């Protein structure tokens, strides 16, 4: 579809560059990385060199200075080749975008610029906790002021790049003493916590059903001292910073789903043309044709919703939550339907690792969970409609 979509010259350049990189560098070893649960360190460095770790970050901060539509095009292509690599790219862009908008000049020089230049390892966005996922305001990690530093205590859960991050963009609640503390956004503050900080333990890497070459880990903080100059934005204003990334993040997950769907449909069509049953190719069977037609229709609708949400962001629409949530909700649910149909076309072969559809099926499932579950997206959509 996108080949026929009206794109600006810069958007097409970024899309084509990402597609070439995905085809030549990301795709060839994707299955092997998945089997080995191997993190793509080399690819992160190359993504930085291509400007794909800070697609929307302004040029003066070391980014590509592109728009949200360009980001959707780029991440969909990376996801088409390897969803795990796309997740790492998405989190990197989220961190870079927040630092670009809220960090001080000194903070940008210390973390953002070298990160985007590929001189640092990956970064993490540490918001979720064992008892607070979609309900970010319920976080319990505490930050207590001690002279010219803050002392952080608590745990983070499901942190992408958690084991390997050179620094963590981490959210904690500023309090006067030990918790637990009531839910709510009051006091939530954004900190940069660097790798190697005393009392910071990255924990054991999660062994996941899908996205196996994307690193996910807990973070445990015990009396971790963080200099006051590491506060990003204002003290107590961190919840707004976290929420500012949600619309972008949800569009990014929708784009990941687009890439997975494109790859799954291509695999299904290829197999249907090659495989014969009852004396003729599967592609000649009406049931197969219906599955392919429904899947392409699902995919086209997902593209339109996602590109509309990206366009809303690009033109600075005042309210984009509904469009972003609709894009994520529909695209991720459609992704589940598409990969399921394409695996069904493969029959028993779709259930073994020899065929890419098996990995795509596993990778697709989490898109309905992270960056806000499908249920949360429905709540956001309804709330926006009822408020209007």
DSSP secondary structure of 239-308: HHHHHHTHHHHHHHHHHHHHHHHHHHHHHHHHHHHH-EETTEEGGGSHHHHHHHHHHHHHHHHHHHHHHH
Contact 227, 149 (CB under 8 A): yes
Q: Distance between CA 172 and CA 141 in Å, rounded?
A: 5
pLDDT score at 177: 66
pLDDT score at 63: 95
pLDDT score at 182: 63
Q: Name the DSSP class of 229.
A: G
* Matching residue, tokens 């503390």: 181
Render each residue's pLDDT in the chain as its tens digit; 388 residues.
Answer: 676 778 999 999 999 999 999 999 999 999 999 999 999 999 999 999 999 999 999 999 999 999 999 999 999 999 999 999 999 999 999 999 999 999 999 999 999 999 999 999 899 999 999 987 777 778 999 999 999 999 999 999 999 999 999 999 999 999 976 656 666 788 999 999 999 999 999 888 899 999 999 999 999 999 999 999 999 999 999 999 998 888 789 999 999 999 999 999 999 999 999 998 888 999 999 999 999 999 999 999 999 999 999 999 999 876 789 999 999 999 999 999 999 999 999 999 999 999 999 999 999 999 999 989 999 999 999 999 999 7
The CA–CA distances, whole Å, from 304 to 14, 51, 217, 300, 308 equal 19, 25, 34, 6, 6
Contact 215, 39 (CB under 8 A): yes
Q: Distance between CA 339 and CA 328 in Å, rounded?
A: 16
pLDDT score at 5: 78
User: Residue 375, SS3?
Assistant: helix
CATH class of 245-387: mainly alpha
pLDDT score at 203: 81
Q: Among this protein's residues, is 371 annotated catalytic?
A: yes
pLDDT score at 178: 62
> What phi and psi values does residue 189 have, to the nearest 5 degrees?
-135, 145
| Residue 1 half-sphere exposure toward CB, CA atoms < 13 A | 18
pLDDT score at 1: 66
pLDDT score at 112: 97
Query: From the candidates 9, 10, 371, 375, which is the catalytic residue?
Result: 371
pLDDT score at 357: 98
CATH tag for 2-121 (out of 1.10.540.10, 3.40.1410.10, 1.10.10.10, 3.90.25.10): 1.10.540.10
Domain residue extents for the chain: 2-121, 124-239, 245-387
CATH tag for 124-239 (out of 2.60.40.10, 3.90.320.10, 2.40.110.10, 3.40.50.300): 2.40.110.10
Q: CATH topology of 124-239 equal to that of 245-387? A: no
């Amino acid at each position: 579809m996108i080949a026929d979509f009206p794109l600006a010259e810069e958007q097409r350049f970024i899309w084509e560059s990402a597609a070439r990189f995905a085809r030549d560098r990301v795709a060839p070893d994707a299955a092997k990385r998945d089997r080995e649960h191997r993190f793509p360190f080399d690819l992160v460095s190359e993504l930085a060199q291509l400007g794909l770790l800070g697609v929307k970050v302004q040029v003066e901060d070391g980014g590509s200075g592109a728009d949200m539509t360009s980001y959707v095009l780029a991440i969909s292509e990376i996801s088409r080749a390897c969803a795990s690599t796309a997740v790492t790219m998405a989190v990197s862009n989220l961190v870079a975008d927040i630092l670009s908008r809220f960090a001080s000049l000194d903070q940008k020089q210390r973390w953002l610029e070298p990160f985007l230049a590929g001189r640092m390892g990956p970064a993490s966005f540490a918001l979720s906790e064992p008892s607070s996922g979609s309900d970010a305001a319920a976080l319990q990690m505490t930050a207590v002021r001690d002279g010219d530093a803050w002392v952080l205590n608590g745990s983070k859960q499901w942190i992408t790049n958690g084991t390997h991050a050179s620094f963590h963009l981490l959210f904690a609640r500023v309090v006067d003493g030990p918790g637990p503390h009531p839910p709510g956004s009051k006091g939530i503050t954004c900190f940069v916590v660097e790798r190697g900080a005393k009392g910071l333990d990255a924990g054991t890497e999660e062994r996941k059903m899908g996205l196996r070459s994307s690193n996910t880990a807990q973070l445990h903080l015990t009396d971790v001292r963080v200099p006051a100059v590491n506060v990003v934005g204002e003290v107590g204003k961190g919840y707004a910073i976290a929420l500012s990334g949600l619309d972008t993040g949800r569009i990014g997950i929708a784009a990941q789903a687009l890439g997975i769907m494109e790859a799954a449909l291509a695999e299904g069509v290829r197999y249907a043309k090659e495989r014969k049953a009852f004396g003729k190719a599967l592609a000649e069977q009406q049931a197969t044709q219906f599955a392919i037609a429904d899947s392409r229709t699902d995919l086209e609708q997902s593209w339109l919703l996602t590109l509309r949400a990206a366009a809303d962001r690009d033109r600075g629409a005042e309210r984009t939550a509904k469009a972003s949530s609709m894009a994520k909700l529909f695209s991720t649910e459609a992704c589940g339907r598409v990969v399921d149909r394409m695996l069904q076309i493969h029959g028993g072969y779709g259930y073994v690792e020899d065929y890419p559809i098996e990995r795509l099926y596993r990778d697709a499932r989490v898109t309905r969970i992270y960056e806000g579950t499908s249920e949360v997206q429905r709540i956001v959509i309804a709330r926006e409609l009822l408020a209007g």
